[in-house]
Amino acid sequence: MAKDKSTKKPISIRYTCAPDGDQVGLSHYLMADAKKK
Amino acid sequence: MWGPSQAFVNAGAGPHFDVLEVGHPDYVALINADTAFWVLSPRAEALDYLLGGELPKTYLEKEKKLAGDLETVRFKLLTSAVYFNPTERCNLDCGYCYLPREARRTGSDMDPARLLEALAKLKDFFVGTLPEGARPQLVFHGSEPLLAKDAVFQGIEKYGDYFRFGVQTNTVLLDKAAVDFLKAHGAGIGISIDGPTAEVADRTRRTWGGSGVFAQTVKVLEELIGYPGLNIITTVTKENVRHLPELVDFFHERGVTNALFNPVRGTQLGGRNLMPDQTELAHYFFGALDRTFELYEKTGRKLVIGNFANLLLGLVAPGARRLMCDISPCGGGRCFFAVGAGGEVAPCSEFLGLPEFHGGNLFTDSVKDLLATPAFTQVTTRMAENLEPCKRCAVRHFCGAPCPAEVYAFHGTLNAAAPMCDFYAAQARYAFKVIADGRLDALLWDGWKDGLEEIVVM
């Protein structure tokens, strides 16, 4: 039996960032400016 | 077929891929758990991707980079934040607090001189370990830090150019002068609201006499709207879980742009007794996220639920995550640590009420030595791949088997899965569904890709 091919494309998203020594990693408290500089 | 020229999945040196149902009509997830790499495959083609040559080939070409990326965020970050409790006391008696009740009622405060001595010591440590120009975060936490307001404000005044300060407060003592002071010093202000009405919010957040503080908290919230340092925490319990979607509307109407919906930890008995049913939590938590999306579509204004946004970052940019509860080792004792009002130091605030996890005392021991004590290293070496059933779980690096303090309180060991395992697995599946739906950007902070480099696998 012929298989129906989807018109959907696969999705894969992955980004990396170089460690800059100023990483922010917190627990249950999120500083509003808590992002990488 | 039988020779070494082509890599096959799930045998020999070929990469291992799990298949995960994500509740989407068109997609399933194919996941390499070790590197947290994933592809959402059209359902009808999933087997073709797994059995064909392209996926393993292109994956293996990027495997080292993917593994290195995860390795960095799991093992190579520098300690850069402190949760600092300047007092054991609290003017509220919230049912789920992770600190022992007796200490909150009758405990001691750190006086200004002692607090300044502590900050000097912490600054010395960070100056010696962080790159020049880095500004570590120091969050005055509780108990209620404004019960030691003089000491806290003296600390902010003296060290405001070095630390990035935050204060997590129940708002009872946050008068206009205090708000003005914190704003003038650019300090983060975190407030806690557990429901959209007094009837709901006051079930868990009450004074020792039993009165609620919802009205006061909302008054402060409305005064702080627009302040970039504002942060809101909702602790999700069996008392408010059904009101989460309604709470989204409540926050959005008031212009809130960022909030955390943290499921309560069962580290102390009070919290354990308030833990919501996991199925119910999943239903209403995802309902709340769906509601933020609907409101964004309707108004163009985002309300980002930070703990879920962080999980999304864990999927698409693990190195850019901002919170460290949903990865193993967790951030406790590694990215941050906690200092209690007597100078006792623990990997995280959750561990402050568990003396066997105190590494020592800030006033008598070096921070470097404290971070290397067994009390810390048993937390900083806790990895999901060594736990049952996490070692065979496809989403183990999107969950982290949290929280070690809670796990210890439940099982007497760190080596067990999350008490809320079913919820965290469901949350990872929901996150994949969000991506398959094309809703990623709508549920993440604006600018999340800034400074990041794409790893293109396929």
pLDDT in tens, B187-226: 999 999 999 999 999 999 999 999 999 999 999 999 999 9
Please report the pLDDT score of residue B142 as a whole number: 83
Instruction: List the alpha helices (DSSP H) in B225-258.
Output: 244-253
Query: At residue B56, does pLDDT exceed 90?
Result: yes
Please report the pLDDT score of residue B179 as a whole number: 97
* Residue B232 structure tokens: 């809101």
Please report the pLDDT score of residue B174 as a whole number: 96
Among B309, B303, B288, B329, smallest CA distance to B440 is for B309
Residues B359-397: b if buried by 16+ CB within 10 A, e if exposed: bbebeebebeebbebebbbbbbebbbeebeebeebbbbb
Please report the pLDDT score of residue B127 as a whole number: 97
Please report the pLDDT score of residue B197 as a whole number: 98
Give residue A34's pLDDT band: very low, low, confident or very high (50, 70, 90).
very low
Q: CA-CA distance, B234 to B264, in Å (whole number)?
A: 9
Size of interface A-B (CB pairs under 8 A): 169
Cis omega before residue B399 (within 30°)?
A: no
Give residue A23's pLDDT band: very low, low, confident or very high (50, 70, 90).
low
Please provide the average confidence, as pLDDT, over all residues in chain B: 95
Sheet holding B27-32, edge to edge: B18-21, B27-32, B37-42
Q: Do B258 and A15 touch (CB under 8 A)?
A: no
Q: Does B457 touch chain A (CB under 8 A)?
A: yes
Query: At residue B394, does pLDDT exceed 70?
Result: yes
Q: Which of residues 336-375 of B touch A (CB under 8 A)?
A: 336, 348-350
Q: Does A20 touch chain B (CB under 8 A)?
A: yes
* Mean pLDDT, residues B47-60: 94
To the nearest whole Å, the CA of A19 is away from the closest chain B CA by 7
Question: pTM of the predicted model, to two decimals?
Answer: 0.95
Q: How far is CA B280 from the centre of its chain?
A: 21
Please report the pLDDT score of residue B98 as a whole number: 83
Contacts of B78 in chain A (CB under 8 A): 21, 23
Strands B81-84, B137-140: pairing is: parallel
Mutate which of B28, B50, B80, B256 to test chain A, going by most A C-beta atoms within 10 A? B80
Mutate which of B126, B169, B264, B323 to test chain A, going by most A C-beta atoms within 10 A? B323
Q: Do B40 and A24 touch (CB under 8 A)?
A: no
Query: At residue A2, does pLDDT exceed 70?
Result: no
Mutate which of B99, B168, B231 to test chain A, going by most A C-beta atoms within 10 A? B231
Phi, then psi, of A11 in degrees rounded to 5: -120, 130
Q: Does A1 touch chain B (CB under 8 A)?
A: no
Q: Do B27 and A33 touch (CB under 8 A)?
A: no
Q: Do B445 and A35 touch (CB under 8 A)?
A: yes
Residues in contact with B44: Cβ distance below 8 Å, sequence separation at least 6, in sequence order: A3, A4, A5, A6
Q: CA-CA distance, B147 to B169, in Å (whole number)?
A: 10
Q: Do B453 and A8 touch (CB under 8 A)?
A: no
Contact (Cβ atoms closer than 8 angstroms) between residue B228 and residue B189: no
Please report the pLDDT score of residue B341 as a whole number: 96
Q: Does B392 touch chain A (CB under 8 A)?
A: no
* Residue B239 structure tokens: 């008392």
Q: Give the pLDDT confidence of B153-174 residue by residue, as tens digits.
A: 999 999 999 999 999 999 999 9
Q: Which residue of B has its CA nearest to A13?
A: B316
Contact (Cβ atoms closer than 8 angstroms) between residue B283 and residue B114: no
Residue A2: Cβ within 10 Å count: 4
Contacts of B315 in chain A (CB under 8 A): 13
Contact (Cβ atoms closer than 8 angstroms) between residue B360 and residue B345: yes
Q: Do A14 and B66 touch (CB under 8 A)?
A: yes
Please report the pLDDT score of residue A22 as a whole number: 52
Q: Which of B95-99, B114-118, B227-231, B432-436 has the lowest mean pLDDT?
A: B95-99
To the nearest whole Å, the CA of A20 is away from the closest chain B CA by 8
Contacts of B330 in chain A (CB under 8 A): 27
To the nearest whole Å, the CA of B126 is away from the closest chain A CA by 11
Q: CA-CA distance, B333 to B347, in Å (whole number)?
A: 4
Please report the pLDDT score of residue A20 as a whole number: 56
Q: Do A19 and B130 touch (CB under 8 A)?
A: no
Cα diameter, chain A: 57
Residues in contact with B298: Cβ distance below 8 Å, sequence separation at least 6, in sequence order: none
Q: CA-CA distance, B305 to A9, in Å (whole number)?
A: 28
Q: Give the pLDDT confidence of B319-360 residue by residue, as tens digits.
A: 888 899 999 999 999 999 999 999 999 999 999 999 999 999
Share of chain B above pLDDT 70, in %: 99
Please report the pLDDT score of residue B439 as a whole number: 98
Query: At residue A21, does pLDDT exceed 90?
Result: no
* Mean pLDDT, residues B351-377: 97
Burial of B456 (0-12, 13-18, 19+ CB in 10 A): exposed
To the nearest whole Å, the CA of B394 is away from the closest chain A CA by 16
Q: Do A31 and B435 touch (CB under 8 A)?
A: no
Please report the pLDDT score of residue A24 as a whole number: 64
Please report the pLDDT score of residue A5 as a whole number: 60
Q: Do A29 and B190 touch (CB under 8 A)?
A: yes
Give residue A35's pLDDT band: very low, low, confident or very high (50, 70, 90).
very low
* Mean pLDDT, residues B240-260: 97
Q: Do A27 and B323 touch (CB under 8 A)?
A: yes
Q: Do B42 and A26 touch (CB under 8 A)?
A: no
Q: Does A16 touch chain B (CB under 8 A)?
A: yes
Q: CA-CA distance, B106 to B223, in Å (whole number)?
A: 31
Helix, strand, or coil here: B224? Answer: helix
Please report how the helices B421-436 and B306-316 are oriented relative to each other, as an axis angle in degrees rounded to 10: 70
Q: Does A14 touch chain B (CB under 8 A)?
A: yes
Q: CA-CA distance, B383 to B360, in Å (whole number)?
A: 24
